[in-house]
Amino acid sequence: MSLLQVEDLAIHFGGVKAVDGVSFSVEQGEVFAIIGPNGAGKSTIFNLISRVYPPTRGTIRFDGRDITGLKAHDIAGLGIARTFQNIELFDHSTVLDNLLMGRHTHRGTNFVQDILFLPKVRQEEREHRRRVEQVIELLELEAYRKKMIAGLPYGVRKVVEIGRALAIGPKLILLDEPASGLSVEETRDVAFWIEDMRRDMGLTVLMVEHDMSLVNQVSDRVLAMANGQPLALGSPAEVQAHPDVQAAYLGTGAAA
């Protein structure tokens, strides 16, 4: 069974059909990319999966469970993490604290235990720190551990956001334009990390991306969308060769 199944998903804002009848499923261990011109509804799909918006129609199933009616704060606990196109971090906290906040749903101690800093809390805290240090090591964030987010360059903040998503310890990670605004080298790093996520951590990756070189390099399957509707679904090469996709991007049949 697929890890994520989206069926006939739709959301209408007044008369605007931002997403209108999209279905796809993402298999366990797959890297699945959604592409499409601006306004195609890609990020809206992310917002629907992470329960920021309630859909007008359709269902979302994760790990066999219908999550369409859940709240935004329930998603992390199920094992879905995400990043945002416009980076949503805790700006007045350090990189370390941002990553530790990713462990929120894994904290099982109560408030009295927390205040007294009992052995159980210390033990949990060590485990959280260990998990976060793994993420720091993977993403090479060592130099920024104690730095405030607000003063960091864009590229680093982008990586911290990926780090926080990994700290959640998810099964499925949603990456919203992970390469946008990054240099060529930084984008290459992102490609490596996505490979690591799949190969070493056994994660399933769903990403929205405009950088076709990244999409070609890492994705198993691609869904192309335009105006809230699906155009084509298949391997990166198949989708890019699809006449509807070329028309949506270029308005003609010219090669992409």
Chain positions contacting another protein, by CB under 8 A: 50, 52, 71-77, 81-82, 84, 88-93, 101-102, 104-105, 107, 109-111, 114-115, 117, 148, 150-151, 164, 168
Beta strands in the chain (DSSP E): 4-13, 16-26, 31-35, 57-62, 65-66, 80-82, 172-176, 204-208, 221-226, 229-234
Min CB(75)–another protein separation in Å: 7
Residue corresponding to tokens 């408030």: 111
Min CB(112)–another protein separation in Å: 9
Report the C-alpha gap between 103 and 164 in whole angstroms.
8
Amino acid at 226: A
Amino acid at 188: R
Q: Are 83 and 168 in contact (CB under 8 A)?
A: no
Closer to another protein by CB, 104 or 126: give it. Answer: 104
CB atoms within 10 A of CB 10: 18
Count of residues in the chain: 256
Min CB(127)–another protein separation in Å: 14
Closer to another protein by CB, 75 or 231: give it. Answer: 75
Amino acid at 138: L
Closer to another protein by CB, 62 or 249: give it. Answer: 62
Closer to another protein by CB, 203 or 248: give it. Answer: 203
Q: Closest Cα to residue 21, out of 49, 50, 59?
A: 59
Report the C-alpha gap between 36 and 251 in whole angstroms.
13
Closer to another protein by CB, 110 or 134: give it. Answer: 110
Min CB(217)–another protein separation in Å: 26
Min CB(170)–another protein separation in Å: 11
Strand pairing class (172-176; 80-82): parallel
Min CB(61)–another protein separation in Å: 20
Q: Are 225 and 209 in contact (CB under 8 A)?
A: no
Tokens of 178: 């992970």
Closer to another protein by CB, 20 or 177: give it. Answer: 177
Min CB(34)–another protein separation in Å: 18
Looking at 170-227, list the stretches that DSSP marks H as alpha helix, in order from N- to C-terminal side: 184-199, 212-218
Closer to another protein by CB, 66 or 74: give it. Answer: 74
